[in-house]
């Protein structure tokens, strides 16, 4: 892999206008002045436009994007073309990329359509005077791969300027990928805040935990208060890249335990183009970063008063596979109520899980749960298809505060997930479409804020950290 060479500070400054996320990655490694970045960088997004033209670049850079618009000057793809322009999007900005010569003479180039996911390697440089491209920069590609092919014609087959309003609303999950969707390029963490739907017709967890709203939607199908914003966040990543939301989630909890609520504050995030290890690292980083920020703020004194002796968690967290947890419980005589041991494939309830966590007495990332006890959307581990690329974060005194996984990104595998769980895929058409139009590896997690506060502040009952707790038989004031 070649290197990206920046000859002066003006080039580094120019990079900031091209792509904020990439700029800050470079600046962290290069500083200013004459500098060199060895190896490759990675950014994620969606291809926005394709056309013809010229561009020259120096250095090597890696870009992952989803295709939004394709064309060769006239907007049509033709055989034996010598030059293809691709404009990529990732929610922070657009980047023009140029394919030429043999890169255009492939089957992938022939079938490439809008809203497809691609991975590009090449070099980046400011455009010469008189040339135009988003941000004034361009990537000349020297290698590329098609990650997820969208149907021929891309989104143009279902959306156009004459589309009826109801058609646009039914396909809202595709409409939001348009150029009118905006984001804040100054967000250095590259996570875009999203507000999703509260009334839904799809379920993330088992049906018994779905909470029906008091009011009625004027639809023939039944509706629920959302259990999680995850599925909707997944529809946002092709348009915006890394996204998160802080909103209320609802569960029809049938017990009054010290850690369960019917309504709670849910912090959720989704990330495209990541691996399972990346996901675990991001969850770990988030928890540690939040704790560090709180302790350094004026609120740190409150933590000291309520939880004297509290020590921030240290990375890396203990990463324990589900299989090893079953073994640990047997070795430490943690049993079911009838005295028998838990076996592989059985769900571990709250109390034995907390006993294990308290014995270990440090944060645990419990990983790779069996497929049958996890949700339909969780991807299987490539090295062991009996388990999922899933994780629960367990903290002493509280138990689980985070649940996450890599999401299935293969269309047929997702259909198998619906079938396995006995789910009618029809209400999930908009979610399934994500595997048609620019599918890519992605994952995310959800963190329960109230449980996190219980751990941080050493509170015994979750109602102590909730302004207006809602649980079984409690909905006032």
Q: What sign does the dihedral 418-421-334-401 (CA atoms) show?
A: positive
Give me the mean pLDDT over the 73-84 stretch.
50
Domain boundaries, the chain: 43-149, 191-465
Looking at CATH, the fold of the domain delimited by 191-465 is given as: BirA Bifunctional Protein; domain 2 (3.30.930)
Identity of the highest mean pLDDT range in 110-119, 146-155, 451-460: 451-460
Mean pLDDT is lowest, of 23-37, 180-194, 393-407, 435-449, for 23-37
Mean pLDDT to the nearest integer, 10-19? 40
Query: Is it true that 43-149 and 191-465 share their CATH fold?
Result: no
State pLDDT tens for residues 276-326: 999 999 999 999 999 999 999 998 999 999 999 999 999 999 999 999 999
Pick the CATH number of 43-149 from 3.40.50.10300, 3.40.50.970, 1.10.40.30, 2.40.50.140: 2.40.50.140
- Among 218-222, 316-320, 365-369, 471-475, the least confident range: 218-222
Q: Which residues of 188-225 are buried (b: 16+ CB within 10 A; e: fewer)?
A: eebbbebebeeebebbbeeeebbbeeeeeeeeeeebbb
32 vs 135, higher pLDDT: 135
pLDDT at 156 exceeding the cut of 80: no
Confidence of residue 224 (pLDDT cuts 50, 70, 90): confident
Minimum mean pLDDT among 111-115, 174-178, 243-247, 350-354: which range? 174-178
CA 168 from centre of chain: 24
Which residues are within 8 A (CB) of 309 and not within 5 positions of it... i.e. 6 or more apart?
none
Q: Write down the pLDDT at residue 72.
A: 38
Give the E-state strand segments of 209-330 in sequence order.
224-225, 243-250, 263-272, 318-321
pLDDT tens digits along 200-213: 455 555 545 545 55
- Tell me the average pLDDT of the chain: 78
pLDDT at 55: 35
Whether pLDDT at 7 is above 50: no
The three-state secondary structure class of 37 is strand
Average confidence (pLDDT) over 31-39? 29
Identify the pLDDT of residue 336: 94
Q: Give the integer Cα–Cα distance in Å for 346 and 303.
A: 37
pLDDT at 24: 27
Q: Record the pTM.
A: 0.77
425 pLDDT more than 80? yes
Could you give the 3-state DSSP secondary structure of residue 343?
Answer: coil
Q: 172 by DSSP, 3-state: which?
A: helix
For residues 251-265, give the mean pLDDT: 81
Bigger pLDDT: 155 vs 229: 229
Between residues 57 and 437, the one the model is more confident about = 437
Phi then psi dihedrals of residue 306, to 5 deg = -85, -25
What pLDDT sits at residue 122?
Answer: 87
When mean pLDDT is compared across 104-108, 122-126, 335-339, the lowest value belongs to 122-126
Distance CA 407, CA 21 (A): 24
Q: Which residue has the higher pLDDT, 401 or 191?
A: 401
Could you tell me the pLDDT band of residue 192, with boundaries at 50, 70 and 90?
A: low
Q: What is the pLDDT of residue 472?
A: 82
């Amino acid at each position: 892999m070649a290197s990206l060479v920046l000859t002066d500070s003006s080039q580094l400054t120019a990079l900031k206008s091209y792509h904020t996320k990439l700029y800050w990655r470079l600046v962290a490694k290069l500083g200013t002045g004459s500098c060199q970045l060895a190896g490759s960088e990675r950014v994620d997004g969606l291809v926005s436009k394709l056309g013809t033209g010229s561009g020259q670049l120096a250095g090597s850079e890696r870009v992952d994007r989803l295709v939004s618009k394709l064309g060769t000057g006239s907007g049509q793809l033709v055989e034996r073309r010598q030059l293809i322009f691709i404009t990529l999007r990732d929610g922070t900005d657009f980047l023009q990329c140029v394919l030429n010569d043999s890169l255009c003479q492939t089957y992938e180039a022939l079938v490439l359509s809008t809203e497809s996911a691609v991975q590009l390697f090449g070099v980046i440089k400011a455009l010469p005077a008189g040339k135009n491209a988003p941000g004034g920069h361009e990537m000349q590609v020297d290698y590329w791969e098609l990650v997820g092919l969208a149907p021929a014609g891309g989104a143009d087959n279902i959306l156009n300027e004459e589309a009826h309003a109801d058609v646009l609303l039914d396909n809202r999950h595709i409409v939001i990928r348009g150029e009118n969707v905006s984001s804040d390029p100054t967000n250095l963490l590259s996570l875009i805040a999203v507000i999703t739907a509260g009334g839904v017709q799809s379920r993330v967890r088992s049906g018994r935990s779905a909470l029906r709203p008091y009011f009625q939607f004027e639809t023939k199908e039944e509706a629920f208060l959302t259990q999680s914003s995850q599925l909707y966040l997944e529809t946002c990543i092709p348009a915006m890249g890394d996204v998160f939301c802080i909103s209320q989630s609802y569960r029809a909890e049938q017990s009054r335990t010290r850690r369960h609520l019917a309504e709670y504050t849910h912090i959720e995030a989704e990330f495209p183009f990541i691996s399972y290890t990346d996901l675990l690292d991001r969850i770990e980083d988030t928890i540690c970063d939040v704790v560090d920020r709180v302790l350094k703020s004026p609120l740190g004194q409150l933590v000291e008063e309520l939880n004297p002796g509290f020590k921030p968690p240290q990375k890396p967290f203990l990463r324990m596979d589900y299989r090893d947890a079953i073994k640990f419980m047997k070795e430490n005589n943690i049993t079911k109520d009838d005295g028998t041991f838990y076996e592989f494939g059985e769900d571990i309830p709250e109390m034995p899980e907390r006993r294990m966590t308290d014995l270990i007495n440090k944060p645990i990332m419990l990983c790779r749960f069996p497929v049958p006890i996890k949700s339909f959307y969780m991807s299987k581990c490539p090295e062991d298809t009996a388990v999922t690329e899933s994780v629960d974060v367990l903290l002493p005194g509280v138990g689980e505060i985070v649940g996450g996984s890599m999401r299935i990104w293969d269309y047929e595998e997702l259909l198998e997930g619906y079938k396995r769980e006995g789910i009618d895929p029809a209400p999930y058409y908009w979610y399934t479409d994500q595997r048609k139009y620019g599918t890519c590896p992605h994952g995310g997690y959800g963190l329960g804020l109230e449980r996190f506060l219980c751990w941080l502040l050493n509170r015994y009952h979750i109602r102590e950290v909730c302004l207006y707790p809602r649980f079984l038989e409690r909905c006032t004031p």
